A and B are shown apart, each in its own frame.
Chain A
């Protein structure tokens, strides 16, 4: 218990001192997770919309496959991407391994199914009357689709937040594809794992606190935005 309280107090002091290493790690984490979330959202939200809105053969199978991909372990994705970008892989000549780009590729694979399936769920929950109302007021297919997308916006934002929460907290992909290089590919989670291995808890606890505060802040912003729009 003493170890925890001592580490916690020291961690708070470390954060308060604006330690450059801590903030370098936080910056790398935010940058990598932010870019991967952006890419996955730009791909996953329209894809989820098309799957939910469209009717085509194999739709249910596709949704089952996407749901299955939600359970993909990060180490499996790490291994899969590694096989493509390692020196012997087909993308080896691009020198992607142990770069932030490699982490982003892996993280996009990790969260694309999350954004897509949660978007499908958000669109599917939208009342059928919105479609009918838009149509009877003269909207074409595209305009009707925009109405439905707009009505599902809170669900889609929630999907994006869930995806960001998943990548910022993952460790397997960042470790396997990023290599935990200090100041370059060291993220909050890989740094915490390293510090734990070293038996140094202060930096790990400090990063853990920042991770929780970030997560809380993002959810707070979402609820504030949701509340303002609905009142």
Chain B
């Protein structure tokens, strides 16, 4: 088991936006997180990405209890990367953007170059290596954000509506890349979406979240037809 969440709540003031008694996530699988707007999907992703601390509850990650101190969370963040619904790129070149996580991990420059080129190839953005990131289209931005996350070889990739506002071509490219990295690198992926066809083409399991509550603790295997 990669994640085991127990009695997790998240409150903003007096408002409870997340209330999950139990949730389990297996390593190497793809999960779709479904639910209406305001159901708490992004908050849940933030907690799974160690970007937000739950108000109450415990998390086991790789069978070890998560300590919510900043230094401990920072180490865990090196294994879990989240891509925003509307990712923002640093005002620099595509190469520098993708290089960021590798620089932080002190990967030698030569090795960085090889990894970046391979990953940009994977997302089909190699030709844009020296392009200014802020001049890219929405689809290109999403692909670079994906490359920026993938270069650090995360254990878990959390994608908040990875294809929202993208054209069909870019949607297909993103979905194919996610499928490919899951198959080849065994990266655990959780993504939120409103599109059922994406669930059917990508997810192994689904979670349904409504008003901050999961309908089931165990993910339901996705059945086509």
- Interface, chain A (partner B; CB < 8 A): 127, 129-130, 132-141, 143, 147, 150-151, 229-231
Contacts and interface: CB of A to CB of B under 8 A. Distances in A.
A137 B81 contact: yes
- Which bracket fits the contact residues of B? 20 to 34
Given A138-B74, A141-B70, A231-B132, A130 B88 contact: yes
A231 to B, nearest CB: 7
A137 B90 contact: no
Nearest to A143: B104
A126 to B, nearest CB: 10
B82 A136 contact: yes
Nearest to B135: A231
B214 to A, nearest CB: 23
Interface of B: 49, 51, 70, 74, 77-78, 80-82, 84, 86-88, 90-91, 100-101, 104-105, 132, 134, 148-149, 152
A136 B49 contact: yes
Given A137-B104, A137-B149, A230-B132, 6 more contacts: A130-B88, A134-B100, A136-B80, A138-B104, A138-B105, A143-B104
10 contacts: A129-B88, A130-B88, A133-B88, A136-B51, A136-B82, A137-B81, A137-B104, A138-B105, A139-B100, A230-B91
B88 to A, nearest CB: 4
A139 B51 CA distance: 12
Given A138-B152, A141-B70, A129 B132 contact: no
A140 B87 CA distance: 20
A56 to B, nearest CB: 17
A136 B88 contact: no
B54 to A, nearest CB: 17
Question: Dominant SS at the B interface?
Answer: mixed
A6 B148 CA distance: 64
Nearest to B78: A138
B161 to A, nearest CB: 14
A13 B27 CA distance: 80
A143 B78 CA distance: 14
Contacts of A136: 49, 51, 77, 80-82, 149
- Residue of B104, B105, B132, B152 ringed by the most chain A CB atoms within 10 A: B104
A138 B49 CA distance: 11
A127 B91 contact: no
A127 B84 CA distance: 13
B61 to A, nearest CB: 15
CB-CB nearest 8 A-B residue pairs: A137-B101, A129-B88, A138-B78, A136-B82, A138-B104, A138-B77, A136-B81, A139-B104
A230 to B, nearest CB: 7
Nearest to A231: B132
A230 B131 CA distance: 11
A55 B87 CA distance: 25
A147 B90 contact: yes
Contacts of A147: 90
A84 B88 CA distance: 50
Contacts of A135: 51, 74, 77
Contacts of A134: 100
B100 A137 contact: yes
Contacts of A138: 74, 77-78, 101, 104-105, 152
- Residue of B51, B74, B78 ringed by the most chain A CB atoms within 10 A: B74
Nearest to B70: A141
